Structure 1
Amino acid sequence: MDELIDILTPEGIPTGTTALKSEAHAHGWFHATVHIWFYTADKKILLQKRGSHKKVFPGLWDISVAGHIGAGESILNSAQREIFEEIGLEIHQNDLIKIGTRKHQVAHENGILDNEFHHVFIAELKIPLSSLSIQKEEVDAIELFDLSILKDTKNLENVLLPRFHDYYCSVHDEIYLKGFHLEA
């Protein structure tokens, strides 16, 4: 789905201009996204299998919920919207724990230039997986994996991407520090 988004400088500062997501990806213009990682009290992580028709990373097990921040939309409202759209969960903003902002730059083989600032959150999933409903246009499946998968160094076919291993490790550690209030 093509949506209107705010364009940022390479330092993450709003430029005051907007563009369609497709334009931003074609020109490599920086923009903002949200990443929400859901964990459970029994040390599981919710991953979604990206739709097989997606233009980037199709069919890959990935972040619990992720999406672009709409033009003029606040970061937290965007996170809530994306969570509801992708997995059918209504969540309060104070249940989202922000663990950082990550600058991300990837040139995909299909010509998409992903220059993004990811606003990264963690949140505890307090309901059964069966209570969630996926957005079939975006997500093929959701599944709970052992939290240790975020630190796994094996080449797991179709589960996460080795080149982002440091990012996954940081999410793992933040879940332990801020989610469980334990040391990693």
Structure 2
Amino acid sequence: MAEFWDIYNKQGKKKNKVIRKGQPLLNGEYHLIVEGWIRCGEDTFLIQKRSANKKLFPNMWYCSLGGSVQAGEDAKQGLIREAKEELGIDISNDLIKLKRIITENYCIFYIYLIERDIDLKEIVLQKEEVADVKIATKSEICDLIKNNEMIYLDYYQKFFENIEKVPYLR
């Protein structure tokens, strides 16, 4: 099924334009991407391993969940949908918006922290997207990154520094 994206300007204001995924973005056009980190303990996070059939970063570990926001959704709605699709869980009551990042490749990332106790047995993987999940400490995540087994994005270091200042509330 075709996926469609709303187009935004650099300030995050929606333009009156929708494109089909894969169409090139013009200069000054952006689309929204969401990422969520599920913190399930003082120093533990749920991470996912991307499916082998993914075009970008196949078989790589990644944050808990993420993806493109579809036409008609806002960032929060997109992340809630991604969680249901990829992991089979409802995170609608657990979201804390952390950061907005504008990239050079015409994306506006919205990063969320999700505070939630996770039982891996409750996870239902969308096999086309996710090969595996596990709970990892910050140190284990850093090791996966060093070993080129996990995607590394520029904001990760600052993200973990900031998260250490936020007490785990569960």
Aligned-pair CA distance for 1:97: 0.5
Task: Determine if contact 1:7/1:17 at 8 Å carries over to the other structure.
Answer: yes
Task: Determine if contact 1:151/1:168 at 8 Å carries over to the other structure.
Answer: no
Counterpart of 2:161 in structure 1 is 173
Q: Structure 1 stretches of 5 or more lacking a match?
A: 106-113
Helix, strand or coil: the match of 2:149? coil
Q: Distance in 2 between matches of 1:71 and 1:84?
A: 17
Structure having the larger proportion of residues in helix: 1
Find out whether 1:46 has 2:46 as its counterpart.
Answer: yes
Q: Distance in 2 between matches of 1:98 and 1:85?
A: 20
Alpha carbons of structure 1 residues 63 and 126: separation in structure 2 relative to 1, 3 Å: same
Task: Determine if contact 1:50/1:60 at 8 Å carries over to the other structure.
Answer: yes
Task: Determine if contact 1:151/1:169 at 8 Å carries over to the other structure.
Answer: no
Segments of 4+ moved more than 3 angstroms: 149-154
Could you state the TM-score of these two structures normalised by the residue count of structure 1? 0.80
Q: Percent of aligned pairs with the same residue?
A: 28
2:151 to 146, 154, 160: 160
Alpha carbons of structure 1 residues 122 and 176: separation in structure 2 relative to 1, 3 Å: same
Q: CA RMSD in A?
A: 2.3
Farther off after superposition, 10-19 or 58-67: 10-19
Residue identity opposite 1:43 in structure 2? D
Q: Distance in 1 between matches of 2:123 and 2:144?
A: 29
Structure 1 residues 26-54: Cα deviation after superposition (integer angstroms, max 9, x where no partner): x6842001110011224111111111111
Could you state the TM-score of these two structures normalised by the residue count of structure 2? 0.86
Counterpart of 2:66 in structure 1 is 66
Task: Determine if contact 1:122/1:179 at 8 Å carries over to the other structure.
Answer: no
Counterpart of 1:119 in structure 2 is 110
Paired residue total = 168
Helix, strand or coil: the match of 1:177? coil
Q: Distance in 1 between matches of 2:89 and 2:163?
A: 20
Task: Determine if contact 2:98/2:111 at 8 Å carries over to the other structure.
Answer: yes
Residue identity opposite 1:120 in structure 2? I
Alpha carbons of structure 1 residues 70 and 153: separation in structure 2 relative to 1, 3 Å: closer
Q: Structure 2 stretches of 5 or more lacking a match?
A: none
Residue identity opposite 1:104 in structure 2? T
